[in-house]
Amino acid sequence: MDPRSAALAERNFQRAQKELDEGHVLAALACLETALKIWDDPRWYSRLGFCVAKERGQLMRGLELCRTAIGHEPDNPAHFLYLYKIHLLAGRAEEALQALRQGMALGGTPEIERLLETMGTRKPPVLPFLTRENRLNKYLGLLLARLGLR
């Protein structure tokens, strides 16, 4: 690949990242598709996966693209951030949280740190000998919270 093409693809990728940072997913999708036509770089797939899932509703394709990016660059926490976003779109909160934790274990990003902080930590179950999902634990927890005792 000649240096001009590589530079053009990189500029399109940088613009796509800027659009994503500003919340303009459709514009980012267009930039990424242009960049990937010029230079097929698997490191960009996680961002493309999120854009495809968000704008076109292709959640499975988005997950596949994200996993491909992670396979090429397993130590990049940004890939796990986009995997988190796709899982969230799919309504898979537990998998989304797991992806964030994996990204944080790799060093994290400011956005991953912010997301984990906003989620906070859960209080221990009211009755520790029962599971968190047990109805008694749920309702006792709600009752105590409403009374201001928890």
pLDDT level of residue 132 (50, 70, 90 thresholds)? confident
Are 67 and 141 part of one and the same domain?
Answer: no
The residue segments making up the domain with residue 95 are: 3-119
Q: Is the pLDDT of residue 81 over 80?
A: yes
Are 55 and 14 part of one and the same domain?
Answer: yes
Are 96 and 134 part of one and the same domain?
Answer: no
115-122 LR contacts (CB < 8 Å, sep 24+)? 115/84
Are 72 and 17 part of one and the same domain?
Answer: yes
pLDDT tens-digit readout, 84-122: 999 999 999 999 999 999 999 999 999 999 999 988 777
Model confidence pTM above 0.85: no
pLDDT level of residue 150 (50, 70, 90 thresholds)? confident
Are 96 and 36 part of one and the same domain?
Answer: yes
Q: Angle 13-117-123 (CA atoms, 0-180°, nearest 5)?
A: 145
Residue 58 is encoded by which pair of tokens? 């292709």
Output the pLDDT for position 122: 77
